Amino acid sequence: MELLVLSDTRIYGDAVGRLLSVAPNDPWRVRVAHSIADAVIQMVAAAPDILLLDVRVDGAVHGLDVLRRGWPRAYILAIGVDPLVHQPLVQRAGVDEVLPPAAPASELLRLVAKRHGANAAGFAPAVAGRAASRADTLSLRELEVSRLLARGLSNKDIARHLGIELPTVKNHVHNLLRKLNVRTRLQAALLLEGSQAP
């Protein structure tokens, strides 16, 4: 199945794409576009089953009409939707689901799983289960650090919160990245947040 993430914030689009690629045996081919024009080119090349549209992309709300007409079967999930600013516009444009900026990664996984037709043992729980099994290998201190990491705290803030030295925090972060089999703090945070999915 084809999934296209449209976000002009490159790190955000790439991170969402990576999050959706972590499920074992995942059925998705995830592509990332950084503009409406790029999205149209990619959608012509391979029509997506799901389009995750960051509504903050320049021209995204007005471009929805074109995307919906060109690909009427695509499931469009608008992300970053401010209820006061974007909600009425995206609903008129015919999006299938909306996610506000404060929505957790687990909610995104749930909606994608729902569209994919996954049951309770499906896509999002598979990600959560993998994260939970890897988290079992963490020491108690690494678990504390991982919880603070998942909340978005910096190494300095984690050190201050736990009352430990900064090099010790860096060592714990290095160890938990290795044990979770991820490369970056962001991947770890997304994986750990996914493990808290209901």
Question: Could you read off the pLDDT of 167-183 as tens digits, one per residue?
Answer: 999 999 998 888 877 77
pTM of the entire predicted model: 0.57
pLDDT for 124 equals 44
Antiparallel, parallel or unpaired: β 75-79 and 50-54: parallel
Q: Give pLDDT, residue 189.
A: 66
Domain-wise residue ranges, the chain? 2-103, 126-194
pLDDT of residue 26: 56
Identify the CATH number of the domain defined by range 2-103.
3.40.50.2300
Please determine whether the domains at 2-103 and 126-194 fall in the same fold group of CATH.
no
3-state SS track over 30-78:
EEEECCHHHHHHHHHHCCCCEEEEECCCCCHHHHHHHHHHHCCCCEEEE
The confidence score (pLDDT) of residue 133 equals 53
Pairing of strands 75-79, 2-6: unpaired
* Alpha carbon distance 54, 133 (integer Å): 32
Out of 3.40.50.2000, 3.90.226.10, 1.10.10.10, 3.20.20.140, the CATH code matching 126-194 is: 1.10.10.10
Distance CA(1)–CA(102), nearest Å, equals: 27
Average pLDDT of the segment spanning 50-70: 81
Rounded-to-integer distance, Cα 1 and Cα 169, Å: 40
